[in-house]
Structure 1
Amino acid sequence: MPEKTLEALFYDGLKDIYYAEKQILKALPKMARAAQLPDSKAAFQKHRDETEHHVERLQQVFEIIDKRAQGKTCEAIQGIIAEGEEIMEEFKGSPALDAGLISAAQAVEHYEIARYGTLKTWAKQLGLEKAALLLDQTLQEEGATDKALTKIALSAANNKAKVAA
């Protein structure tokens, strides 16, 4: 059994977020199609494009640590995505759909922010400065996406949800 070190934990965390990003790549187009507000649709489409870059950066980090890029099933992201799918189903066609989609997307963002923040810190502690920079770049983008979603929620989606159909 391999020794349980920070390096092993870092690798395990990379596999977790790699799997999560791949699942998010599949979920975002569904969310974009379901969204009713143009701003919501655009935000989900933009984040899908960004997520492709996140996967590429993670592949670079795997290369830095000389490990194969592979995912490890992440039950947390599966649960968060399942909640988003429930919202799409239960609120389809309703004025509250976009507000619900944004809340589901923000749950994903907050999970990613937590993961990337931890991985960045571990990379620094392991002396993996280039990996830390790559992880920080993604962390900054995830934070910006969260802020953009909040703006859409406050400017349109939440108000639309308050109005009866």
Structure 2
Amino acid sequence: MIENLKSLYFDQLRDLYSAETQMIEALPKMMAQASHPDLKDAFSDHLEETRGQRSRLEKICARHGIQPAGETCDAMKGLVKEAEKHGNETLPGSVRDAVLIAAANRVEHYEIAGYGTAKCYADVLGFDEDVKLLDETLEQEGAADKKLTKIATGGLFHDGVNEAALA
């Protein structure tokens, strides 16, 4: 039962833990479906980051004497299900890569919102160490989002996945 900001904060931590756990399961599948080497590398790198993010949540929960498991992040479940559906309905190649990037960007935006909210609650509650750990994750999620967007749109001297998907 959520009775106050502290119990809401703990609920949010469990929700984020569930989300990260689901992504640890989903990222290898997304990596296998990707064809662009930069996208495969981005998913591989973010898988390692995601494991670290989940570990930070475990540290925060241990500090407060709560179990991180026990909540199911239905939003992440839906995002993963949608990514799988669209990935399976798209032929391999640049269009599927564009689908995977779009799905991954949605996940990153969801996680940025979730971690931003949790960080705000931790700050109000005076959990300064939690704020530092949550901020570290927020920075990683933002960087992952930017990296995916760069792969989609390309850089100064090359076209991105989205451009290749036009063909």
Equivalent position of 1:9 in the other structure: 8
Q: Find out whether 1:56 has 2:51 as its counterpart.
A: no
Q: Find out whether 1:162 has 2:162 as its counterpart.
A: no
2:75 maps to a residue whose letter is A
Q: TM-score under structure 1 normalisation?
A: 0.95
* 1:146-161 correspondence runs (5 A): 146-155=145-154, 156-161=160-165
Equivalent position of 1:80 in the other structure: 79
Asked if structure 2 preserves the Cα contact closer than 8 Å seen for 1:34 and 1:92, the reply is no
1:33 maps to a residue whose letter is A
Q: For residues 4 and 42 of structure 1, what CA distance do their matches in structure 2 show?
A: 43
Q: TM-score under structure 2 normalisation?
A: 0.94
Q: For residues 139 and 30 of structure 2, what CA distance do their matches in structure 1 show?
A: 22
Range 81-90 or range 65-74, more displaced? 65-74
Equivalent position of 1:30 in the other structure: 29
Q: CA deviation at 1:130?
A: 0.1
Q: Find out whether 1:117 has 2:121 as its counterpart.
A: no
2:141 maps to a residue whose letter is E
Q: CA deviation at 1:92?
A: 2.9
Q: For residues 141 and 39 of structure 2, what CA distance do their matches in structure 1 show?
A: 16
Q: For residues 2 and 146 of structure 2, what CA distance do their matches in structure 1 show?
A: 40
**RMSD after superposition:** 1.1
- Report percent identity of matched pairs: 43
1:162 maps to a residue whose letter is L
Unaligned 5+ runs, structure 1:
none
Q: For residues 70 and 136 of structure 2, what CA distance do their matches in structure 1 show?
A: 20
Number of equivalent positions: 162
- Consecutive aligned runs of 4 or more in structure 1 exceeding 4 Å deviation: none
Asked if structure 2 preserves the Cα contact closer than 8 Å seen for 1:64 and 1:131, the reply is no
Equivalent position of 1:136 in the other structure: 135
Q: For residues 93 and 135 of structure 1, what CA distance do their matches in structure 2 show?
A: 36
1:88 maps to a residue whose letter is G
2:69 maps to a residue whose letter is Q
